[in-house]
Structure 1
Amino acid sequence: MIGFLKKHWSNILFVGLFVLLIIPQTRMPIQVFVQRLISFSPSEKAESKRETLTDYNWSLQPLNSEAINFSQSKGKVTIVNLWATWCPPCVAEMPSFQKLFNSYGDKVDFYFVTSETSEKIEKFIDKNGYNLPIYIQKYKAPTQLESNVLPTTYVMSKTGEIVIDETGVADWNSKKMRALLDKLLSE
């Protein structure tokens, strides 16, 4: 028996991991863990490739309050994250966003936008202890903020310039990101 295990340990390990990945209750935590391992600081767009947001008209529904219009963020440093609770890379980057929000929430406008139900979102937020400003998208986003990939995050300067347009998981609480926000806030 020991000889069999020594000879086939890699196959046994592969089958074990495969089984864990097909079981929904274990798949998501494994995927989130792996996504956190591979997350890096988001990349700033080259100045020559940056677009400027021209349409701020976007109605959003905060959890448990009246609808707001995204135009309230015109002239402010803003972060928009498009996400979902079922998306492993989205879930993986939430702790870094929570830390960034804890430090910059009073200086930067944050929008965590999803199309899921408020019940599902509230359960996720409560389970993880987040206090991020979450909005339910009821209407189409401005063209420059549309994406078919989750997560997608946009960082905009006070002039509406899209400084970061990041898809996939990232470490949003990095020194590089904090330095960029400090620079944008000082402009």
Structure 2
Amino acid sequence: MLLVTACNSSGQQDTSQTSAEENEQAQEQTGPLSKVAIADLEGKPIQLEEYAGKTIVLNFWATWCKPCIVEMPSMVEARASLGDEFVFLLASDESTEKISKFVEKQQIDLPFVQLQNGVQNLQITALPTTWIIRDGKILKEIIGAMEWNTEENIEELKNL
């Protein structure tokens, strides 16, 4: 049996133990998901917890990002194939006016939302970036555009 001890700054022995489950819960509360602040295009806040029991496909994009725009039609098709178990949210940190004008012009049938605290606060360094989320955990991060509607990608999403 291995006994591990540590000292705190006062020199006293620290005998507290943290279970893996407690560590995981603490990480969830302080991880990138805890920093996500999104709202619909009317400004009403959206909590990811509203989608409990569903898989969330949270896509970070921008109106000026060509690869972001190119992947959107395949996301529409994927959403139709995946059904109600999946929620797609496309989050941009641009103004709601800019996002709304984009949606009106492009006429893409996806739920667009405004990221209110900026992608840099979430440590996102490339667009598009997509987080696949379930039960308060990021199951997968996808950096770059992809064809969402291929059989292989649909199956992978279902099997996460």
After TM superposition, the score normalised by the length of structure 1 is: 0.60
Indicate how the Cα distance of structure 1 residues 115 and 129 shifts in structure 2: closer, same or farther if over 3 A, else same.
same
Provide the residue aligned with 2:85 in structure 1. 107
The residue identity in structure 2 corresponding to 1:54 is E
Alignment of structure 1 residues 68-147 onto 2, 5 Å: 68-104=46-82, 106-139=84-117, 146-147=123-124
- For 1:170, the equivalent position in structure 2 comes to 146
* Aligned residues between the structures: 132
Q: Measure how far apart 1:159 and its partner are.
A: 6.5
Q: 1:62 aligns with which of 14, 21, 40?
A: 40
The answer to whether residue 122 in structure 2 is matched with residue 148 in structure 1 is no
**Which segments of 5 or more consecutive residues in structure 2 lack a partner in the other structure?**
1-23
How far did 1:71 drift? 2.7
Native 8 Å contact 2:131 2:138 kept in 1: no
Task: Give the strand-richer structure, 1 or 2.
Answer: 2
Q: Which residue of 1 aligns with 2:15?
A: none
RMSD after superposition: 2.8
1:172, distance to aligned residue in structure 2 (A): 1.0
Indicate conservation of the 8 Å contact 1:75/1:159, yes or no: no
Look up the equivalent residue of 1:79 and give its one-letter code.
Answer: V
Q: Which runs of 5+ in 1 are unaligned?
A: 1-50
Q: What is the CA–CA distance in structure 1 between the aligned matches of 2:72 and 2:130, rounded to whole Å?
A: 12
Deviation, 1:128, is: 1.9
Q: Is the CA contact (8 Å cut-off) linking 2:93 and 2:114 kept in structure 1?
A: yes
User: Deviation at 1:64?
Assistant: 2.2
1:92 aligns to what SS in structure 2? helix
What is the alpha-carbon distance in structure 1 between the residues aligned to residue 83 and residue 115 of structure 2? 21
Contact 1:84 1:116 in 2 (8 A): yes
Q: Kindly tell me: are residues 157 and 128 of structure 1, through their superposed partners in 2, closer, same or farther at Cα, counting changes over 3 Å?
A: same
Q: Shift in Å at residue 59 of structure 1?
A: 2.6
1:172-187 aligned at under 5 Å gives the runs 172-184=148-160
Task: Label 1:60 to 1:157 Cα distance change in 2 as closer, same or farther (>3 A).
Answer: closer
**Identity level (%):** 31
CA contact (8 A) 1:74 1:160 kept: no
Report the Cα distance in structure 2 between the residues aligned to 1:75 and 1:54, rounded to whole angstroms: 17
C-alpha displacement of 1:139:
2.6
